[in-house]
Structure 1
Amino acid sequence: MDSSKIIAYIIAIIFPPLAVLMAKGVGMDLVINIVLCILGWFPGMLHAAYIVSKSE
């Protein structure tokens, strides 16, 4: 795991939509993450961590 992944995971914990935006760009994943963050911070954080882990 390189330093950019570690930073992405930290951003996923603090501000999940930004981590998804950095990993995937503007798209359906970002919309899903924003909705999950509106419903609660924890689901949004889990989704962001999943997206970061699946990105290259």
Structure 2
Amino acid sequence: MTAKYARKDTGRSGSRENIAFIRQMLAELRQVAEKEKADMLCYLIEMAYVEAGDLHSRM
């Protein structure tokens, strides 16, 4: 028997707000990583930040 999962429909504005929140958190994390001189972590966080921006602009 397969479990069925209900998808919560937050609507487009809810999704847009969630992506904006994620993007903001990534910006803050990048600042922390910069202070720690964690270059690779900064790079990966920056890539996620760019992706979040792309997603946000397409919504």
Normalising by structure 1, we get a TM-score of 0.41
Q: Which is greater in Rg?
A: 2
Higher helix share: 1
Normalising by structure 2, we get a TM-score of 0.40
